[in-house]
Amino acid sequence: MSVHKYLRGPSVKLPLRLVEKLVLTHDTNLYTFGFPSHDTILGLPVGGCVQLHAKINGENVTRPYTPVTLDDFKGYVKFVIKTYRKDVNPKFPAGGKMSQYLETLSAGDCVDVGGPFVRIHYLGDGDFEIMGEQVRKLKANYINMICGGSGLTPLYQVLKYILNSSTDKTKIALIFANQTEKDIILRNELEQLRDANQSRFRLWYTLSSPPENWSYSAGYIDQGMIDEHCYPAGENTVNLLCGPPMMIKNACIPALRALGHSTENTLTF
């Protein structure tokens, strides 16, 4: 049976039908969308994202999302999406337009999808292509992944692809920052991957507000935490970052530079 790719390009919008919505945490859902046929895959290069489109209160709204399923998953695509509700964050009193809209959907409802959009493309076996005016290539034996909150999802896609591969020997260290323990998305999946790949995947958490008897780090990501839990700088060490801009700009990048990691080998989704 031949396999069909669903995506037709960044400018082409196609309908995605919601099949199931599962509550994962107090503010995060797992959305399963179905394709018209069971022999269809999304057609998204590893490291890429799609854009979801919806008309919300008369306004056309578009947001980028990365699925948690890979292209070996036929018939469906799954997204883990955090809902940014109104009146929770004083800096964004209206909340997230798209995430709040998606939470109102019921099975059978549709949104439009366009893509793929690819800037950081993971080819497998440690090889990256970085898109720009010219395509730049990177080779990794070690990957440090540092993320906050829903910034996990693009890194999770790369992580899963590597650990599912029988040939990819790249080693990964992941630091995952959140506010509280209940904010940790995909925790079971991450810990299952760690337990099944102990020589290849190191996992560490840090929480701004940890519970009592918390066995991981407390507080914001800093140089000491990266030094202790990530792989050291080197020509074949690549850093992948995704999370709140202030975390990336004020914490991660200065700490990585102080530890000798090059700008060229530090990539932000």
pLDDT in tens, 146-173: 999 999 999 999 999 999 999 999 999 9
CB atoms within 10 A of CB 143: 27
Say whether 64 counts as a known binding-site residue. Answer: yes
- So what's the architecture of 140-268 in CATH? 3-Layer(aba) Sandwich (3.40)
Distance CA 258, CA 267 (A): 16
pLDDT digits (tens, 9 = 90+) for 90-121: 677 777 899 999 999 999 999 999 999 999 99
Say whether 97 counts as a known binding-site residue. Answer: yes
Say whether 170 counts as a known binding-site residue. Answer: no
Residue ranges of the chain that CATH labels 3.40.50.80:
140-268
> What distance lies between CA 217 and its chain's CA centroid?
21
Which residues face 62 on adjacent strands?
Answer: 53
Say whether 99 counts as a known binding-site residue. Answer: yes
Say whether 65 counts as a known binding-site residue. Answer: yes
pLDDT computed for residue 1 by the predictor = 63
Give the angle subtended at the CA of 155 by the CAs of 19 and 115, to the nearest 5°.
55
Instruction: Annotate 80-124 with three-state secondary structure.
Output: EEECCCCCCCCCCCCCCHHHHHHHHCCCCCEEEEEEEECCEEEEE
The CATH superfamily of 4-117 is Translation factors (2.40.30.10)
pLDDT digits (tens), the chain, 269 positions: 678 999 999 999 999 999 999 999 889 999 999 999 999 999 999 999 999 999 999 999 999 999 999 998 999 999 999 998 887 776 777 778 999 999 999 999 999 999 999 999 999 999 999 998 999 999 999 999 999 999 999 999 999 999 999 999 999 999 999 999 999 999 999 999 999 999 999 999 999 999 999 999 999 999 999 999 999 999 999 999 999 999 999 999 999 999 999 999 999 99
Residue ranges of the chain that CATH labels 2.40.30.10:
4-117
For 69, phi and psi rounded to 5 degrees? -95, 155
pLDDT computed for residue 2 by the predictor = 78
Distance CA 266, CA 130 (A): 11
Say whether 257 counts as a known binding-site residue. Answer: no
